[in-house]
Amino acid sequence: MAKKEEKFVLTAAHIQNAKAYIPLDEKCDLAKEIAKRCVVISEDEGESVLEILSLPIKKEDIALKQLCLMNVLVTAYLNLPVKNPFTQKEFDYYAGSHLMNQIERFKGNYDLKDKIYDMICDYKEFKKIVDTEIYNEKSTYNDSVSRVIRILATFSKKEDIDKLKEAVAELKAQTEAEINAEKGEVNG
């Protein structure tokens, strides 16, 4: 007979000791840290011109993101003790126990339902902040202008780069002015 895997069982005591809210600045700091760890150099690229020029694209490491999110749920919200660092084995233990479903089931507990709804809402807000930070991190690194500047930086002197940055800033300002003028004509 196969050995039955041990499952984590969430109790009312766990919920009573849990946090229903993490302050915004703490959420933002955690999200930035997660984004920095989860946005990694893509290894899926072929023999493209950008790869030859040593300019890889960054992408999201989804598995690491899930591990980090579970770590926050377990440690920051539920205040459960875990080993540091949070491992894949611990992730599988809590995820395999369907931790979020167990939390959701406490919505029927009259004494805990307000805290549960608040915790779930706050955790969803935190996940949105993480997604935004990851998007920002990828966008900043993978932006075409930033990539071109990095290419030129590898082949240019500092003075040349400074001139190029000024030209790009000037072009950007000019483009924004033209867009604003067009909006004025449409609105006016």
pLDDT band at 56 (very low <50, low <70, confident <90, very high): confident
Model pTM score: 0.75
Q: Which among 45, 34, 28, 62 has a CA at the least distance from the CA of 147?
A: 45
The terminus-to-terminus CA distance of the chain in angstroms comes to 78
Which of 127-165 are b and which e, b meaning 16 or more Cβ less than 10 Å from the residue's Cβ? bebbeebbeebbeebbeeeebebeeeeeeeeeeeeeeee
pLDDT in tens, 80-107: 999 888 999 999 999 999 999 999 999 9
**DSSP line for 31-58:** HHHHHHHHEEE-S---S-HHHHTT-PPE
Instruction: Judge whether residue 162 has pLDDT over 70.
Output: yes
Cα distance between residue 179 and residue 155, in whole Å: 33
37: pLDDT strictly greater than 70: yes
Three-state SS for 83-101 is CCCCCHHHHHHHHHCCHHH
Spans of all domains in the chain: 12-144, 156-188
- Confidence bin at 17 (pLDDT 50/70/90): very high
